[in-house]
């Protein structure tokens, strides 16, 4: 079953096959949690969100239609949960503010491979949400602009515009370092 395609596994999951669900989970958990951590800058929240995303996959499997790749659909769930999580956190009462973890230590620890990577991680963390999502999906996950557009529910040219703006912001923040390379 480990060699089965995502779509075949989803067809089994739709029939209530827990073993197929476990294979899908093992296949996507690490990449999804890495994406969510980079997006949120917090490992604990990323772990909760990815687990929630998998449970949603299980519940919705009978309604899933194989008109798009499973990975596209799954990343869309993860990105939407991340966006909702950040919005809820942004509107959290001030009393709760002290309990919100500082994203910087986790984000930096995740990319602690030198000062340059830390600077890049910090610059990405400061991007607006959709620009950050477009950068992470395109450059970290290696997805095409078309698949990123599907995940973000945008047009391909819309994704290109997000990337142009994101890269301008990154170049502005990393400017002197980029010039040295």
Partner 1 sequence: MTHDEFEHLLVAHGADVALWPEPARQRARDLMARDGSVAALRANHASLDARLARAAAAGPVAQDVAAGGRIAARLAALPLPKQDARAPVRWLPSWLLALDLRPAWPSIAALAGMAVLGFLAGFSVVNPTLFDQAMAIGAHPQVSADLSTLVFEPGPVEESAL
Interface contacts to partner 1, rule CB under 8 A? 11, 14, 16, 18, 21-22, 25-26, 29-34, 37, 43, 46-47, 50-51, 54-55, 58-67, 109-113, 116-117, 120-121, 135, 139-140, 142, 145, 160-161, 163-164, 167-168, 170-171, 174, 178-179, 181
Smallest gap from Cβ 17 to partner 1, in A, equals 11
Q: Rg of the Cα trace of the chain?
A: 18
Structure-token match 């958990």, residue found: 29
Cβ proximity to partner 1: between 44 and 100 the closer is 44
Smallest gap from Cβ 94 to partner 1, in A, equals 29
Cβ proximity to partner 1: between 129 and 141 the closer is 141
Q: Is 111 helix (H, G, I), strand (E, B) or coil?
A: coil
How many angstroms separate the CA atoms of 90 and 56, rounded? 24
Cβ proximity to partner 1: between 92 and 117 the closer is 117
Smallest gap from Cβ 28 to partner 1, in A, equals 8
Smallest gap from Cβ 91 to partner 1, in A, equals 26
How many angstroms separate the CA atoms of 30 and 137, rounded? 15
Q: Which long-range contacts (CB under 8 A, 24 or more apart) does 58-63 make?
A: 58/13, 58/21, 61/10, 61/13, 61/14, 61/21, 62/14
Cβ proximity to partner 1: between 83 and 156 the closer is 156
Structure-token match 């949400």, residue found: 129
């Amino acid at each position: 079953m480990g060699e089965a395609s995502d779509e075949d596994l989803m067809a089994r999951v739709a029939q209530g096959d827990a073993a197929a669900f476990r294979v899908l989970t093992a296949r996507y958990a690490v990449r999804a949690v890495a994406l969510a951590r980079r997006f949120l800058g917090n490992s604990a929240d990323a772990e909760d969100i990815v687990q929630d995303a998998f449970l949603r996959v299980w519940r919705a499997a009978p309604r899933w239609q194989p008109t798009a790749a499973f990975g596209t659909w799954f990343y869309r769930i993860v990105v939407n949960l991340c966006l909702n999580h950040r919005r809820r956190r942004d509107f959290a009462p001030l009393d709760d503010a002290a309990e919100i973890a500082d994203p910087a230590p986790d984000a930096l620890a995740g990319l602690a491979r030198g000062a340059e990577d830390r600077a890049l991680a910090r610059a990405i963390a400061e991007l607006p949400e959709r620009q950050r999502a477009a950068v992470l999906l395109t450059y970290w996950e290696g997805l095409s602009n078309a698949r990123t557009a599907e995940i973000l529910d945008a047009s391909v040219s819309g994704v290109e515009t997000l990337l142009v703006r994101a890269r301008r912001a990154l170049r502005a923040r990393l400017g002197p370092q980029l010039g040295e390379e």
